Structures are given as structure tokens and as C-alpha cells.
């Protein structure tokens, strides 16, 4: 479907029709499409300096972004590595974890991750997200990653404690067997995105962190989706009250304007890469590392968060999500309702669940015909609007979700 322009939460198709973007264009848009403030910052930067080598050179937009971003992150997460997409931010985190162990004289090459996790499409990210089933063609090329069940939870769930305990038992067994071979555990904190908008509790992340710390295994938070306000806090690690060793950020970093990513690590990790020998260095760099336009967009976006009270807007969206999901309570097709920050999700009780559920593409068409860009993940219907979305438009989206549930219900009869 050709799209020609966007403004706020709205997109205009080549057919002249308007569509409400309720998935933030694959989870990247934060303040809204074509936000004039970000657009101006990019234009001004483009007229000054568009790109410069970032090996042995630096520039003010990168320095400013590093300063402002690390001031927002939990203390200790103070060293940034720039790249240009979420997969690479994860890839870099895995490479740092691996080389960190090597640089300290005790190589570790195994990793831990979660069933249903998605971390991107490069080889390390694929290995960590292998259970998604997206990467079967490359199975034989992947390195060792042991997976744990993800203790997903939702409103009114009473068995989450048991699920968490089961996952931790499996973790303990892995640690018993391979404890000193694990470089890191990788997790999407609080919300697994592509795996179906599955939530977990902060308590679980805290339990993970505690077990890993005592064995010197690094904790990597993949906040490529959860970063920049999606969970209601600036970062999921804030909301969870758990400080990781490394964090991967991308999608919302530039407000969705430009491809850019950062991997942020703790000072002690950074220090393990310092020295006279080249072998100690992280020999990883990209042509467009710390692109100036991306940095300018990201700095403008962070300013907007402060000036526009963006997190209060997310809280207002969250309140409407909760109200409308309550209104659906008792609907025969509704399973596992859940809300966190700007994200609301529910599972449809259909016979063929999972990512390949036929109902997904059917619903996508149903929504598009009504001017709503909503793209279910199989049988999981979710909303993740840009934060500028007005209450009235959000209610319109929920009216569409209600109509969709009626439609699916009628077809089943």
C-alpha cells in the first residue's frame, strides 16, 4: 500500500485515504509522524555537516546525545557504542559480552535467552531469537544459546508465580551445567514484542539479575522496542527497577525519523577494552556510525520528551487502554488482556493460535478497510500508538477492535 505523507498519528495513502497509525509504524514513531521540531533539527544539521568518519573523530551532536541519553539511563550505564539498527545494537552487545570475558582471560561463548524472544535478523540476534522459528533456513550456522521459558502474565493471572519459579528452575539447571561458559543472558525486559506482546513481572527480572550477578554473567536488556516510553517509563529498566550490564536501544531513539542505534554498557565493561594492544579493542565499526542527522534527531526527540511531558501523554493513553479493555471483560473471544504504558494487547481465542494464525492477516484487512493501521501478531491484537494520539482517535481505534471481535465471533457461528 503506497503511503505519501504523515502527520501526528495519521498517514495518508496514495489513494487519498487517511489511516490512523496504531502500531507506531513497527514501533519506531514516538512523538508522531513528521514532527516539525525533529524535521527542523535534521534539516539544520544537514546544512552544517551531514556525516563524518567516527574513527578518531567525533562531533558535537554525538557528544550531546551521549551526555543526555546516559543522564536518563540508570547510573553506571555510561558508555555508548553507536550503530544503525536494532539487530546491530544487539549484535554489538553480544560481541561485547563475549570479548569482555576474553579480555579478562576467561573466555565465555555461550548465551542464554528466552523462548519467544526476538532480537533482530543478523546472525547473533537470530541465534538468540531462534525459538521464534523465523530463522530455520540458517539453523546450522547458529552458535550455542540455551533458552528459558518466558513466564508471560496478564490481567487477573494467578499462576504467574509458578511459571516464574519453573523458568528459574530451568535457569538454575543451565547454570549448574554451563555456569562458567555463559557470557550473558539476553532478554526483552517487561514486554516481549514480536513474540506476541507478552509481559513479564519486574520481580522475575530482579530474580534473573541476582542469579547472574553471583556468577559474573552479564545481563543484556534488549530495549529496542521497550525503550523511549513504550512501557510508561522512559526505559523498561526504570519501570522494573533492575539495572542491566548492557542495554540495546534503537527504534524510538530518533523518534522514528532515521535508522540509528546505541548499545550502552557499564563503566567496568568499557574499562576491560582499554589498553595498548589492539587485540583488547572492540574491532567493530560501521560506515555510518553516529551519523550526525540521526544524532540531531535523537537530541531533538529527547528535548521533546522533557518539554511536552511525553510520559504524561503515555499515562493518558494507558488509562484509556485500561478503561476500554475493562469494557471488553467477559467477551467470549477475549483472552489474556494486558496493558503497560502505551501498549495494550489481547489474545483472540481462536482454534489456530500463534504467529501464523489465519485470523491475523484477515483482521489486518478488516482494520485497514476502516482506516486503522493495526497489524495483529497472529492471534494477538495489540495497539501501540504514537504518543501524540488524541483521546478521541484512541477511542475510535478501540471501537474498531470491538467491531473486529464481533466480526470474528459472528464468522465462527
Q: Which residues of this chain interact with ligand PLP, rule CB under 6 A?
A: 85-87, 90, 118-120, 188, 193-194, 222, 224-225, 250-251
Question: Residue 123 and residue 34: Cα distance in Å, rounded?
Answer: 33
Residue with smaller CB distance to ligand PLP, 251 or 324:
251
Q: Which residue is nearest to ligand PLP (CB)?
A: 86
Distance of CA 118 to the CA centre of its chain: 9
Nearest distance from C-beta of residue 254 to ligand PLP, angstroms = 11
Residue with smaller CB distance to ligand PLP, 65 or 224:
224
Classify the phi-psi angles of 264: left when phi > 0, otherwise alpha if psi is within -120 to 50, otherwise beta: beta
Q: Are 170 and 148 in contact (CB under 8 A)?
A: yes
Nearest distance from C-beta of residue 117 to ligand PLP, angstroms = 8
Question: Residue 76 and residue 243: Cα distance in Å, rounded?
Answer: 9
Residue with smaller CB distance to ligand PLP, 11 or 93:
93
Nearest distance from C-beta of residue 223 to ligand PLP, angstroms = 7
Residue with smaller CB distance to ligand PLP, 120 or 229:
120
Q: Are 94 and 327 in contact (CB under 8 A)?
A: no
Nearest distance from C-beta of residue 301 to ligand PLP, angstroms = 16
Nearest distance from C-beta of residue 261 to ligand PLP, angstroms = 7
- Rg for the chain (alpha carbons), in Å? 21
Nearest distance from C-beta of residue 211 to ligand PLP, angstroms = 22
Nearest distance from C-beta of residue 28 to ligand PLP, angstroms = 8
Residue with smaller CB distance to ligand PLP, 190 or 292:
190
Mutual orientation of helices 60-72 and 292-307 as an angle, nearest 10°? 40
The strand pair at 218-222 and 182-187 is best described as parallel
Residue with smaller CB distance to ligand PLP, 314 or 404:
314
Per DSSP, the residues of 140-154 read GG---EEEE----B-
Residue with smaller CB distance to ligand PLP, 250 or 266:
250
- List CB contacts of 89: < 8 A, sequence separation 6 or more: 83, 224, 248, 249, 250, 261, 262, 263
Amino acid at each position: 500500500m503506497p503511503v505519501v505523507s504523515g502527520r501526528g498519528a495519521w498517514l495518508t495513502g496514495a489513494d487519498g485515504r487517511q489511516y490512523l497509525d496504531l502500531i507506531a509504524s513497527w514501533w519506531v514513531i514516538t512523538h508522531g509522524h513528521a514532527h516539525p521540531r525533529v524535521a527542523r533539527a535534521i534539516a539544520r544539521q544537514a546544512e552544517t555537516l551531514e556525516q563524518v568518519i567516527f574513527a578518531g573523530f567525533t562531533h558535537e551532536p554525538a557528544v550531546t546525545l551521549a551526555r543526555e541519553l546516559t543522564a536518563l539511563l540508570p547510573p553506571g550505564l555510561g558508555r555508548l557504542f553507536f550503530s544503525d539498527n536494532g539487530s546491530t545494537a544487539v549484535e554489538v552487545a553480544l560481541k561485547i559480552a563475549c570479548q569482555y570475558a576474553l579480555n579478562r582471560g576467561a573466555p565465555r561463548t555461550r548465551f542464554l535467552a528466552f523462548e519467544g524472544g526476538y532480537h533482530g535478523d543478523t546472525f547473533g540476534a537470530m541465534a538468540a531469537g531462534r525459538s521464534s522459528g523465523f530463522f530455520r533456513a540458517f539453523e546450522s550456522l547458529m552458535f550455542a544459546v540455551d533458552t528459558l521459558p518466558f513466564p508471560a502474565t496478564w490481567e487477573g493471572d494467578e499462576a504467574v508465580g509458578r511459571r516464574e519459579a519453573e523458568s528459574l528452575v530451568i535457569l538454575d539447571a543451565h547454570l549448574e551445567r554451563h555456569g562458567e561458559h555463559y557470557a550473558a543472558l539476553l532478554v526483552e525486559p517487561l514486554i516481549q514484542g514480536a513474540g506476541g506482546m507478552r509481559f513479564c513481572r519486574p520481580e522475575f527480572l530482579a530474580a534473573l539479575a541476582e542469579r547472574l550477578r553471583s556468577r559474573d554473567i552479564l545481563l543484556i536488556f534488549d530495549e529496542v522496542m521497550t525503550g523511549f516510553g513504550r512501557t510508561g517509563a522512559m526505559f523498561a529498566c526504570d519501570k522494573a527497577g533492575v539495572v542491566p550490564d548492557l542495554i540495546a536501544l534503537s527504534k524510538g531513539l530518533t523518534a522514528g525519523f532515521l535508522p540509528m542505534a546505541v548499545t550502552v554498557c557499564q563503566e567496568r565493561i568499557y574499562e576491560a577494552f582499554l589498553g595498548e594492544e589492539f587485540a583488547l579493542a572492540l574491532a567493530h565499526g560501521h560506515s555510518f556510525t553516529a551519523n550526525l542527522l540521526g544524532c540531531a534527531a535523537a537530541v531533538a526527540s529527547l528535548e521533546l520528551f522533557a518539554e511536552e511531558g511525553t510520559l504524561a501523554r503515555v499515562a493518558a493513553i494507558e488509562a484509556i487502554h485500561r478503561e476500554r479493555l475493562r469494557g471488553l471483560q467477559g467477551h467470549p473471544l477475549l483472552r489474556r488482556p494486558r496493558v503497560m504504558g502505551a501498549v495494550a494487547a489481547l489474545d483472540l481465542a481462536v482454534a489456530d493460535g500463534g504467529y501464523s494464525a489465519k485470523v491475523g492477516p484477515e483482521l489486518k484487512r478488516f482494520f485497514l478497510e476502516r482506516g486503522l493501521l493495526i497489524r495483529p501478531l497472529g492471534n494477538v491484537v495489540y495497539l501501540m500508538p504514537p504518543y501524540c494520539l488524541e483521546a478521541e482517535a484512541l477511542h475510535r481505534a478501540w471501537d474498531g477492535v470491538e467491531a473486529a471481535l464481533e466480526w470474528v465471533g459472528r464468522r465462527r457461528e
